[in-house]
């Protein structure tokens, strides 16, 4: 477990209670300690050598034991539902569990990000949050959240597969993420976007997303710690809202978006669902039967041409007459029983005069 940053303010260690906020996103745990006035008096970033739910449980136990303040409440936000469910079970209070388990409330990452957006963009109508990993790629899990900034109600989320679509500093990747934002429930009405996570500090993120979204984009204060700070706010509520109990719809993008990127298309597959079955109205089913279509096909038969030639020769004494008669007959047959017959007769007369000279040298007269 590697600590990357740590900030501490000893002056508040003995005055009032403090709240510990923790976020678990893939292989990194961010934590903040908020003092009685809501200010952040300590923070920490931990890289997990084991990103499993068990590894996260071990790291959280070490963090709680090392905090130099008296902690009144502990809020934990998880990006992956499997990790959230595991920690809710493992950190539940019980006779054989550590006493600090009774101070823990585990929630999902979208709820923590909604608190950040309400703080950063409160009063701006429908807004969105985009959480980015170190490489400026949308973090695994529900990294896009749309919400009503006036009430903090989460309207929808978008979930990307690990490593997709790529750094949003690339215009192509930025357009894919922008499409996910605007296609999520309430996304068409988004007025502004706030970026959180360590990747929000990568140069060019805000400008690339502003161009792709055609909306203002801001970077959250201390973006790497933003989700942990949101978890610390949620736990202060008298009755923390459990996962899935709000009137929330989910918009999920699967790994198919990576394949769509290879062909230069944004083909995103989306599944919309309600949260609770008792909040959904039964969808009526109607059947429409269309009459069968009638198709008429006309086929034109091939034409058949038949040619017959007749030659006649007539020979006369002393005068040869040759007549050549050519009869041409054309017969056309079609499938519609239409017959066309054309006959052409050409008569040619050839007269041949043969002159015979006698031995006496006198030519006979013409007959």
pLDDT digits 0-9 by tens, 111-150: 999 999 999 998 899 999 999 999 999 998 889 999 999 9
| 144 vs 158: CA distance, rounded Å | 5
Confidence class of residue 236 from pLDDT cuts 50, 70 and 90? confident
Supply the pLDDT for residue 107.
Answer: 95
Residue 293 domain flag: no
Supply the pLDDT for residue 239.
Answer: 55
| 353 vs 318: CA distance, rounded Å | 7
- 65 pLDDT above the threshold of 80: yes
| 107 vs 140: CA distance, rounded Å | 16
Confidence class of residue 168 from pLDDT cuts 50, 70 and 90? very high
> Which tens digit of pLDDT belongs to each residue from 303-330?
444 444 444 444 444 444 445 444 444 4
Length of the chain: 367
**Does residue 204 or residue 351 have the better pLDDT?**
204
**Does residue 233 or residue 301 have the better pLDDT?**
233
Residue 307 domain flag: no
Q: What is the mean pLDDT of residues 327-348?
A: 46
Residue 299 domain flag: no
Confidence class of residue 162 from pLDDT cuts 50, 70 and 90? confident
DSSP 277: G
Cross-strand bridge partners of residue 145 = 129, 157
Supply the pLDDT for residue 22.
Answer: 97
**Does residue 3 or residue 121 have the better pLDDT?**
121
Structural domains in the chain (count): 1
Give me the residue label for tokens 């678990």: 24
> Which tens digit of pLDDT belongs to each residue from 87-120?
999 999 999 999 999 999 999 999 999 999 999 9
The two structure tokens encoding residue 287: 């059947």
Q: How far is CA 191 from the centre of its chain?
A: 22
Residues 6+ apart with CB under 8 A from 264: 172
DSSP 314-366: ---SSEEEEEEEEEEEEEEE-TT--EEEEEEEEEEEEEEE-----TTSPPPPP
pLDDT above 70 as % of the chain: 60
Q: What is the mean pLDDT of residues 271-289?
A: 36
Residues 6+ apart with CB under 8 A from 265: none
Q: What is the mean pLDDT of the chain?
A: 74
Ramachandran category for residue 335: left, alpha or beta (phi over 0 → left; psi -120 to 50 → alpha) = alpha
The two structure tokens encoding residue 256: 């198919």
Peptide bond into 165 cis (omega under 30): yes
Structural domain for 208, as ranges = 2-276
Residue 159 domain flag: yes
Residue 46 domain flag: yes
Confidence class of residue 270 from pLDDT cuts 50, 70 and 90? very low
Residue 88 domain flag: yes
DSSP 41-107: EEEEEEE-SS-SHHHHHHHHHHHHHH-SS-EEEEEEEESSHHHHHHHHHHTS--TTS-GGGGGEEEE
Supply the pLDDT for residue 36.
Answer: 87
> Which tens digit of pLDDT belongs to each residue from 209-219?
999 999 999 99
Q: How far is CA 182 from the centre of its chain?
A: 12
- 288 pLDDT above the threshold of 50: no
Residue 343 domain flag: no
Q: Lowest mean pLDDT of 79-83, 139-143, 226-230, 358-362, name the range.
A: 358-362
**Does residue 328 or residue 197 have the better pLDDT?**
197
Supply the pLDDT for residue 91.
Answer: 96
Intra-chain end-to-end CA distance of the chain, in Å: 138
Residue 117 domain flag: yes
Residues 220 and 194 sit within 8 Å (Cβ to Cβ): yes
Supply the pLDDT for residue 141.
Answer: 85
Confidence class of residue 342 from pLDDT cuts 50, 70 and 90? very low
């Amino acid at each position: 477990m590697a600590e990357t940053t740590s900030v501490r303010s000893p002056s508040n260690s003995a005055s009032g209670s403090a709240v510990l906020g923790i976020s678990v996103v893939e292989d990194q745990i961010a934590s903040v300690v908020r003092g009685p006035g809501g200010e952040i008096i300590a923070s920490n970033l931990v890289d997990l050598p084991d990103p499993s739910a068990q590894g996260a449980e071990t790291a959280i136990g070490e963090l709680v034991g090392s905090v130099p303040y008296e902690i009144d409440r502990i809020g934990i936000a998880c990006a992956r539902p499997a990790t959230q469910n595991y920690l809710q079970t493992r950190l539940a209070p019980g006779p054989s569990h550590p006493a600090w388990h009774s101070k823990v409330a585990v929630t999902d990452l979208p709820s923590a990000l909604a608190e950040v957006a309400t703080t950063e963009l409160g009063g701006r109508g429908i807004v969105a949050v985009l959480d980015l990993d170190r490489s400026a790629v949308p973090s695994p899990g529900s990294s896009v959240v749309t919400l009503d900034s006036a009430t903090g109600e989460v309207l929808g989320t978008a979930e990307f597969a690990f490593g997709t679509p790529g750094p949003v500093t690339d215009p192509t990747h930025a357009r894919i993420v922008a499409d996910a934002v605007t296609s999520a429930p309430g996304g068409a009405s988004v007025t502004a976007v706030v970026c959180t996570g360590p990747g929000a500090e990568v140069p060019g993120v805000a400008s690339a997303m502003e161009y792709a979204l055609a909306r203002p984009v801001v970077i959250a204060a201390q973006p790497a710690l933003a989700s942990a700070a949101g978890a610390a706010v949620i736990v202060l509520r008298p009755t923390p809202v459990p996962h899935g109990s709000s009137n929330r719809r989910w918009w999920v993008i699967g790994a198919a978006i990576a394949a769509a990127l290879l062909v230069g298309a944004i083909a995103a597959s989306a599944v919309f669902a309600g949260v609770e079955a008792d909040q959904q109205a039964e969808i009526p089913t109607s059947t429409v039967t269309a009459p069968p279509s009638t198709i008429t096909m006309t086929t034109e038969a091939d034409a058949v041409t038949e040619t017959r030639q007749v030659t006649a020769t007539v020979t006369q004494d002393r005068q040869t007459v040759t007549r050549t008669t050519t009869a041409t007959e054309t017969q056309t047959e079609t499938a519609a029983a239409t017959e066309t017959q054309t006959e052409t007769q050409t008569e040619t007369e050839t007269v041949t005069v043969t002159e015979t000279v006698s031995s006496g040298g006198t030519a006979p007269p013409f007959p």
